[in-house]
């Protein structure tokens, strides 16, 4: 009989559809190649330009006089400055974001209007450009007659990354099955106890990732620190002094007309990229490590 077999061959429209599908499939793969290609291109250019210019001296020294016009020194000030700034800001953000995320998921009803508004608010805050945070931070500083400082930078960056962290943590906590929370409360634990003893263990991989992502964002941002931290050639010594950051160091080095200073800029870019790649890698490893122990 062959009803079904022959039917396929006679239908012209079927062939038109397959052609359309194949065209689109081709376009899709092409698009993906471009996206992945851009990523590889970025990493490739940074590595190719930055690796040759880098030296151990550069990593371990602070700029001596005239560094930006070609003299001796290194970017240690920027490396340490960035790590301290981002680290402190992440810590501050963590202390604020985690309670908020816990509150949203444990104490409020899932569909309560308040939870809805808070989540919405954080998403909107997430979309505010870094430069606006910087400008705002700057206004506050001017208002209080404060100068550019590490502390101002920490506060501004913390402000910038709190929406990111809170949102990621919220997503993670949201995914925890309600039954787990139920089971804990059912045996008489208070919600706070449920939070710390049960939920957090389960959410550990996701929370770690959230922290690391926020840290990566905080360390890489230039627009928010531009106004608030200033720049300096020395290592961070006090909260109330300006501090150097890698993104700004890169920016300033590249802005000079001297090719060897620019080369150092590329090297600094290389350092920052490696740092961020390292953080991504760690967060993936930790995340899969922790995932082994959780309830599925």
Partner 1 sequence: MDIKTHISVKDLNVWYGEQKVLNHIDIDIPDKKITAILGPSGCGKTTLLKCLNRLIELQDGIKVSGQVLVDGENILDPNVEVTHLRKKLGLLLQRPQVLPMSIYDNVAYGPRIHGIKNKKALDEIVEKYLKQANLWTEVKGRLNSSASRLSIGQQQRLCLARTLAIEPEVILGDETTSALDPVSAQQIEQRFLELKNQYTIVLVTHNLRQAKRLADYVVFLYLGDLIEHGPATEFFKNPKYFKTQAYIEGRFIEDFKVDQELILNDTKNPDESFLKVKSVLKNFQVNQILRLVVSDEKVLQRISQGVETQGGSVLEVKRFGPSEWELFVQKQNVSYAI
Partner 2 sequence: MFKNQRHFKDLLARQGMLFLCLIFLSLTLVIIIGLYKRSEPVLAISSLKDLLFSSAWKPTQEKFGLAGFLTGTLWVTSIAMLIAVPLSILTAIYLSEYAPRCLRDWVKPLIDLLAGISPVIYGVWGTIAVVPLVRDYVMPFMSERFPFFPFASDNYTGYSALTAGIVLAVMTFPIIISIVEEVLRTVSFELRESSLALGATKWQTIKKVVLKKARPGVIAAVILGLSRAFGETIAVLMVAGCSLGVSLKSIFDPAYPLPALIANTYGEMMSIPLYDSAILLAAFVLLMVTVFFNIVGWGILFRLERNLVQ
* Alpha-carbon gap, residue 78 to 64, rounded angstroms: 13
- The angle at the Cα of 286, spanning 37 to 101, to the nearest 5 degrees, equals 95
| Contact map string, positions 29 to 48, toward partner 2, x by CB under 8 A | xxxx-xxx-xx-xx--xx--
| Residue number with CB closer to partner 1 (3 or 40) | 3
Q: Does 14 bind partner 1 (CB under 8 A)?
A: yes
- The angle at the Cα of 200, spanning 195 to 185, to the nearest 5 degrees, equals 35
Q: Tell which one of 47, 49, 83, 294 touches partner 2 (CB under 8 A).
A: 49
Interface positions, 92-151, toward partner 2 (CB under 8 A): 96, 99-100, 102-104, 107, 111, 116-133, 135-136, 139-140, 142
Q: Does 7 bind partner 1 (CB under 8 A)?
A: yes
Indicate which of partner 1, partner 2, none lies near residue 4 (CB less than 5 to 8 Å, by partner kind). Answer: partner 1
* Alpha-carbon gap, residue 163 to 209, rounded angstroms: 15
CA–chain centroid gap for 296, Å, is 27
Q: In angstroms, what is the minimal distance from the CB of 123 to partner 1?
A: 25
Q: Does 188 bind partner 1 (CB under 8 A)?
A: no
Q: Does 257 bind partner 1 (CB under 8 A)?
A: no
Indicate which of partner 2, partner 1, none lies near residue 24 (CB less than 5 to 8 Å, by partner kind). Answer: partner 2
Q: Does 72 bind partner 2 (CB under 8 A)?
A: no
* Alpha-carbon gap, residue 205 to 200, rounded angstroms: 9
Which one of the spans 9-17, 112-120, 235-243, 248-256 is the region binding partner 1 (CB under 8 A)? 9-17
* Alpha-carbon gap, residue 174 to 102, rounded angstroms: 10
Alpha helices in the chain (DSSP H): 3-10, 12-53, 56-60, 76-102, 113-126, 130-143, 150-174, 178-186, 191-193, 200-220, 223-228, 246-255, 259-291
Q: Does 190 bind partner 2 (CB under 8 A)?
A: yes
Q: In angstroms, what is the minimal distance from the CB of 236 to partner 2?
A: 19
Q: Does 288 bind partner 2 (CB under 8 A)?
A: no
Q: In angstroms, what is the minimal distance from the CB of 115 to partner 1?
A: 25
Q: Does 8 bind partner 2 (CB under 8 A)?
A: no
Which one of the spans 4-12, 29-37, 40-48, 76-84 is the region binding partner 1 (CB under 8 A)? 4-12
DSSP letter string, 201-247: HHHHHHHHHHHHHHHHHHHH--HHHHHHT---SSPP--TTS----HH
């Amino acid at each position: 009989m062959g009803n079904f077999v022959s039917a396929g061959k006679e239908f012209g429209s079927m062939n038109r559809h397959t052609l359309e599908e194949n065209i689109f499939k081709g376009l899709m793969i092409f698009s993906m190649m471009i996206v992945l290609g851009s990523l590889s291109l970025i990493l490739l250019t940074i590595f190719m330009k930055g690796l040759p210019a880098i030296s151990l001296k550069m990593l371990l020294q602070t700029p001596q006089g005239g560094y930006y016009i070609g003299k001796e020194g290194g970017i240690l000030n920027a490396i340490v400055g960035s790590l301290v700034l981002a680290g402190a800001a992440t810590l501050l953000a963590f202390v604020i974001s985690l309670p908020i995320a816990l509150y949203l998921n444990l104490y409020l009803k899932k569909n309560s209007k308040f939870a809805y508004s808070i989540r919405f608010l954080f998403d909107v805050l997430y979309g505010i450009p870094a430069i606006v945070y910087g400008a705002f931070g700057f206004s506050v500083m001017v208002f209080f007659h404060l100068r550019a400082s590490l502390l101002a930078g920490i506060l501004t960056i913390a402000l910038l990354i709190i929406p990111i962290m809170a949102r990621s943590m919220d997503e993670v906590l949201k995914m925890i099955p309600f039954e787990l929370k139920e089971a804990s409360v059912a045996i008489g634990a208070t919600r706070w106890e449920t939070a710390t003893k049960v939920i957090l263990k389960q959410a550990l991989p996701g929370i770690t990732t959230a922290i690391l992502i926020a840290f990566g964002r905080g360390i890489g941002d230039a627009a928010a620190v531009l106004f608030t931290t200033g720049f300096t050639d020395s290592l961070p010594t006090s909260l109330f002094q300006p501090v150097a950051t890698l993104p700004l160091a890169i920016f300033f080095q590249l802005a000079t007309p001297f090719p060897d200073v620019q080369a150092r800029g590329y090297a600094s870019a290389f350092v920052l990229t490696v740092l961020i790649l390292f953080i991504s890698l760690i967060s993936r490893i930790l995340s899969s490590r922790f995932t082994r122990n959780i309830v599925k």
